[in-house]
Structure 1
Amino acid sequence: MTKHNKNIDELARSMRQYIADPVPFVQNVLKAQPDKWQIECLRAIANHPRVAVRSGHGVGKTALESWAILWFMFTRPFPKVPCTAPTQQQLLDILWPEISKWLKRSELLDGLFDWQKTKVQNRIHPERWFATARTASKPENMAGFHEEHLLFVIDEASGVMDPIYETIEGALTTKDAKLLLCGNPTQNIGTFKRAFHEDRDLYYTIKVNCMDTDRVASAYCQRLIRQYGMDSDVVRVRVLGEFPKSEPDGLIPLELVEAAMMRDLDIDYNSMLHVGADIARFGDDETIFVPRIAGKTLGLFHYTKQDTTTTAGKLLNITKNFMRDYHKPYATIRIDDDGVGGGVTDMLRETIREQRLNIDVIACHNGGSPIDKEHYANWATEQWCNLKQRLLDEDIEIPNDDELSAQLSTRKYSIDRRGRIILEDKKTYKKRIRRSPDRADALILAFAKVRNNIDPNIAALLGGAKLYGN
């Protein structure tokens, strides 16, 4: 027997050894020690065609997915492993680097497979033996996969829409076709939710509580429980791995927030730059800046314990930098002008006049009069309701931030004696949650619909427009 044939026989024996049980593959080949729930899940994938995992935040789902992908590629001839998630960032910045990390840990696997930005492929048969990353933006991204050995891996599965799953269903026809769904249970609708309820007979299901694993710091769980309550949707989804129940007096359901955080919108280069700014000073509250162009937010900047002069300088520099980077000849800054925000407003306007910048500073007042006085009790309520409508319309993308998610989804509302919606005031919210909704308020400001007497220079650029807020 030649050395080449001997190596092939050894590889074949190694592959056969792990076909029925991925756990020793993870332990021996990848040199990892899976948690109890990961062991259960790995063996479920080997023995069941469909597996669904719902969990809290940070329990090790991405590692589990990476192990399953590499196990399937090692133990099957000519497999295909399509991987998808709602956003490119989830796939290319989180899952794909995780696969690379485990691939490099194994000299055997590193010699067999070539890792690329959107693909992991067999070095000898790259056209037929591979895993590929494709975002769940349209059904056709998941079309065309037909093979005897097929594993679909769906990350952040709650955010993947039903038409994507319908396309995948069409490929699950062979004996060794498998489907793995993993995610936080953020939405009460869709295929992922049905996997644990109406369609449970089709799936092997697993629920992972953050408090049952050492991978999640106990302080993280206790902080969310202390701030938002054990029965809140924030704790249910982020800690307990439960689907949200959506409190009847909560204004914005968590599932709308989470869906917007998983959305991946393109930049609309024809739209203006707007920056929302919620100002704090030396207390425990945060100063927050949120820039956005059309429906896409460009980040969330947070600071604490800074004087108003420093805050004004940072806000102006951030705005100018985004104007430069996105080639915007003008911008608006919307500031909560009540309290310390008024000082920042004055300083910004003075500096902008001195530097002759095409930036309009708009002073906003949460307790001010709404545009629609019939339905909303004050300006803040109207703007929160406007944001909720945009979340329902699915035309905005917001930063994936735990605090922002919690603040948006825990603000309550009531109906006043005139039948108008009125948002829970900030003082009551802070007493109940023991934290100020600074991040949510800055986002609301960024998307606020406001009327203003525009600086003549900017009006000329805008063709005389009077309304900001698109």
Structure 2
Amino acid sequence: MTGRTAPQPDPQSTLAGDIAAFTHDPLGHVLYAYPWGEGVLAGETGPRQWQRAVLEAIGTHLADPATRWHPCRIARASGHGIGKSALIGMVVKWALDTCEDARIIITANTESQLLTKTSPEISKWSRLSVTADWFTPTATALVSTQKGHERGWRADLVTWSTNNTEAFAGLHNKGKRIVLIFDEASGIDAKVWEVALGALTDEQTEIIFLAFGNPTQGTGTFRTLFGRHRSLWNTAQIDSRTVEGTNKAYLDELVDTYGLDSDIVKVRVLGQFPSASSMQFIDRASVAAARARLPGGALGTDPVIFGVDCARFGDDHSTLAIRCGRDARTRPWQRWHQRDSMTLAGDIALAAARWKPDAIFVDAGNIGAGVVDRLRQLGVENVFEVWFGNNRVREAQWIGGTRIRVANKRAEMWTNMRHWLESGCIPDHQGLEDDLTGPEYGFDADQAVRLEEKKHMKGRGLASPDDADALACTFAEPVMPRTVPGWLDPARYPENRRAEEEDLYRDIR
């Protein structure tokens, strides 16, 4: 009896099946598709840690049915040499390989960046892939080799113009996959961002929006992703010195030459945005010192003070800051997003029952007046409303004990807070640091200090400084110590000078 040879599996079918398993696993695709440890990848075992984190974030987003059809927005600001373009090449290849008729648009801050840096990296990772013959690379595209899919299954590198945004406005691919990538995103015009964001509206569609780059500008749309719009984006700022494979000697040379506080080092090494201007009201060094300072030095007589900044809906949030003397860290702060005044007041009342504050100062704007009324209705004591826009010229504490004129209540509170930061400690929280260092200042016609308005901050791409305003509220008015030494107690003051002379030393007998 003659045996029959079993049919051999088709290698291409096997490969296609393997690749299909990575539809929602970009990291798995990257580890599978490339010859790690060989040729140009000799000594490499896989993507760098920050690249892995981005690939995992995309995979987690797509694998969850609850988030799959919502846009996946990821932004990374970094110093030089961390491998941004390489990651773009990996993401592009995964996105095309694992979804039929996927559409990808890539742009950059300049045509030179796009064609001499981004495009070569995309071509390189396409050629290195085990699926290299699935797509054909050109100078401005990566196109499917499958007949009949050349026009709809591709990645295109597009130069942008404020007068020609059709490529972004026409980016639709309902029911399939859309990937939009901005390389060196800090230099891309706001109009391009606006059109691109408006185009990503297809339902039941996998939408991935990546924005990478050096944070070269302290204003603009890329800056807003880390400020005003930070709740919508998965963001991180990456210090090049912490990344595998970067030129540490060169990076250290930049730090030694210019210093950690210089804009050159912030942008090119630390992945931080440059200083907004010389009119920054609170410098970042003072805030960093307050973040690092350990709680201590508080006196038993120091009052516990609540500061509440209220917001209802939108990007802003409500914050409860708690300060006792120089310590604004030990008692945990609270934050609320999209909470009504009744709920907010109830939560603050519970916090008051726990911490027994000597004063609760509430920003009375927005929904704050309702919060004040509700707190009083609940029987909470020592509740005071604060009107930020009260324009009566007054004085506040400046550096070194100097008194200066300030234009309104908000400027008064912020100025006193600025002085307090010289010795106070605050939560170790990046959002709070960004809030404190965000506002600029100037002088009005009376030469009184006036802080930048929130709407102007938002115009520069910064978030409303909700956390900082809450802390500032704790400086709204002086609050008496919890206990008063007898020699300072007004109730024990003598009624006449003779009694005062006779009883002058009664507390130290």
TM-score, with length taken from structure 1: 0.50
1:32-71 equivalence runs, <5 A: 32=36, 33-48=46-61, 49-71=72-94
Q: Identify the residue that residue 257 of structure 1 maps to in structure 2.
A: none
Match of 2:166 in 1: 140
- 1:168 aligned onto 2:196: yes
Deviation digits for residues 44-78 of structure 1, max 9, x if unmatched?
A: 12334111011001111010111011110111110
Match of 1:123 in 2: 145
Equivalences for residues 223-242 of structure 1 within 5 A = 223-242=253-272
Deviation at 1:160, TM superposition (A): 0.6
> How far apart, in 2, do the equivalents of 1:204 and 1:4 lie?
46
More helix by share: 1
- The match for 1:309 is none
Distance in 2 (alpha carbons) for counterparts of 1:204 and 1:71: 20
How far residue 209 of structure 1 moved from its aligned partner, in angstroms, is: 0.7
The 2-side partners of 1:183 and 1:4 are apart by: 48
* Identical counterparts, % of pairs: 35
Residue in 2 that maps onto 1:79: 102
Letter paired with 2:26: P
How many residues are aligned here? 248
TM-fit CA distance, 1:105: 1.4
> How far did 1:100 drift?
1.3
Which of 24, 31, 42 pairs up with 1:20?
A: 24
8 Å CA contact 1:86–1:137 kept in 2: the answer is no
5+ long unaligned stretches in structure 2 = 1-5, 37-45, 62-71, 281-509
**Equivalents in 2 of 1:136, 1:3: separation in Å?**
52
Task: Report the Cα distance in structure 2 between the residues aligned to 1:178 and 1:154, rounded to whole angstroms.
Answer: 11
Match of 1:193 in 2: 223
Q: Structure 2 vs 1, CA of residues 103 and 182 (structure 1 numbering), >3 Å: closer, same or farther?
A: same
Q: Give yes or no for contact 2:107–2:183 (8 Å, CA) kept in 1.
A: yes
Instruction: Return the alpha-carbon distance in structure 2 between the equivalents of residues 122 and 193 of structure 1.
Output: 35
CA distance 1:11–1:214, shift in 2 (3 Å): closer
Name the CA distance, whole Å, in 1 between partners of 2:8 and 2:118.
34
User: Structure 1 residues 82, 5: closer, same or farther in 2, change over 3 A?
Assistant: farther
CA RMSD of aligned residues (A): 2.2
Structure label with greater radius of gyration: 2
Q: In 2, are the aligned partners of 1:207 and 1:241 still within 8 Å (CA)?
A: yes
Q: Tell me by how many angstroms 1:3 deviates.
A: 8.8
Question: Contact (CA 8 Å) 1:30, 1:103: kept in 2 or not?
Answer: no
- Aligned amino acid, residue 132 of structure 2: D
Partners of 2:198 and 2:258 lie apart in 1 by 42
What is residue 398 of structure 2 aligned with on the other side?
none
Partner of 2:127: 104
Map 1:217-366 to 2 at 5 A.
217-246=247-276, 248=278
What is the aligned counterpart of 2:210 among 180, 196, 199? 180
The one-letter amino acid paired with 1:122 is S
Structure 1 residues 218 and 122: CA distance shift in structure 2, 3 A: same
Give the match's secondary structure for 1:131.
strand
Runs of 4+ in structure 1 deviating by more than 6 angstroms, as ranges, are 2-5
1:75-134 CA-partner distances (Å, limit 9, x unpaired)? 11100100001211111111111111111112x322100011111010111111000011
Displacement of 1:163: 0.8
Deviation at 1:210, TM superposition (A): 0.8
Letter of the structure 1 residue corresponding to residue 25 of structure 2: D
Q: CA deviation at 1:24?
A: 2.1
Contact 2:219–2:276 (CA<8 Å) still a contact in 1?
Answer: no
Q: Which runs of 5+ in 1 are unaligned?
A: 251-470
